[in-house]
Amino acid sequence: MRRRLAGEENDIETDGFTVEGIIETAIVASFEYGMKRRVDVTDRVAQEHIVIKGLRENSLKRFKKNKLLLDK
Q: Tens digits of per-residue pLDDT, 25-41?
A: 888 877 777 777 777 77
Domain spans of the chain, in order of start: 2-70
Q: Tens digits of per-residue pLDDT, 51-65?
A: 899 999 999 999 999
Tell which wins on pLDDT, 41 or 10. 10
Q: Number of helices (H) and strands (E), helices first, in the chain?
A: 4, 3
> Taking the model in full, what pTM does it have?
0.74
Could you tell me the CA-to-CA distances from 1 to 20, 43, 54 in Å, in that order?
Answer: 10, 23, 15
